[in-house]
Amino acid sequence: MRVTVGRAVAAAVALGLALSACGTGSPEPTSLQTSSESATATPSPTPTPTPTASASTTKPGRVEITKGPGPTGPDVEAVKAFVAGYFSGINKAIETGKVGGVRSMYTSGCLDCVQLVSSIRSTYGSGGKFVGGLYTQNQIDVVALSGKTYIVHVTSLATAWKQYNRAGSVVNQGPAERVTYSYGVQKINNRWQLTAGGKR
């Protein structure tokens, strides 16, 4: 996330579940014949099938998201509602320092979640606070299903923010900006949880 260490943290999140598939690992486009080649009278060889996105080689530890419609069904709406609830809880935690409402919504695999909550807890625990830094206009899209894990992209307008210490001095701040995150969401023991997460 964005507050304090959140920006730096997101870059370190590897998303072992495959959330970096947005654009990596997809096949190179095949080149078109030039006009001189097409004008040659020699017979063209039998075309070699071009590999599809799902058949192309991916980097170890990453899952490739292929083009096409995302998953459908009642679980998709449940996942969207869950992620919306997480962002609502994060906004409340940023404003109040109370992180109990979101702590049960993610596993230790969601490094971005862990770091964000840790930053909020430590700031308020030392007498400081955050002003602003809220996630607004959240657009939540369930883009793929990998095994039992739904891959979710969230685009938000994060408001301008300031971090204050106990003495009331500003120790960190940032402007409003458009941010996009990827998350893995899975049902564990009949409860939805964020299992991975990071900035796209």
For the ranges 30-34, 104-108, 114-118, 193-197, the lowest mean pLDDT is seen at: 30-34
- Asked if pLDDT for residue 50 goes beyond 60, the answer is no
Dist. CA 110–CA 14, nearest whole Å: 10
- 70-83 pLDDT, tens digit each: 888 899 999 999 99
Whether residue 23 contacts residue 194, with contact meaning beta carbons closer than 8 Å, is answered with no
- 94-133 pLDDT, tens digit each: 999 999 999 999 999 999 999 999 999 999 999 999 999 9
First to last CA, the chain: 11
Whether residue 24 contacts residue 59, with contact meaning beta carbons closer than 8 Å, is answered with yes
- Asked if pLDDT for residue 86 goes beyond 80, the answer is yes
Dist. CA 60–CA 165, nearest whole Å: 42
Kind and range of the H or E element at 90?
helix 74-96
5 or 148: whose pLDDT is higher? 148
* 7 token code pair: 């920006």
- Asked if pLDDT for residue 48 goes beyond 50, the answer is no
CA atoms within 13 A of residue 147's CA, in its CB half-sphere: 10
3 or 194: whose pLDDT is higher? 194
Dist. CA 99–CA 186, nearest whole Å: 21
Domains delineated in the chain: 6-28+50-199 (3.10.450.50)
For tokens 């939540």, what's the residue? 140
* 69-to-51, 61, 190 alpha-carbon distances in Å: 19, 23, 26
State residue 68's pLDDT score.
57
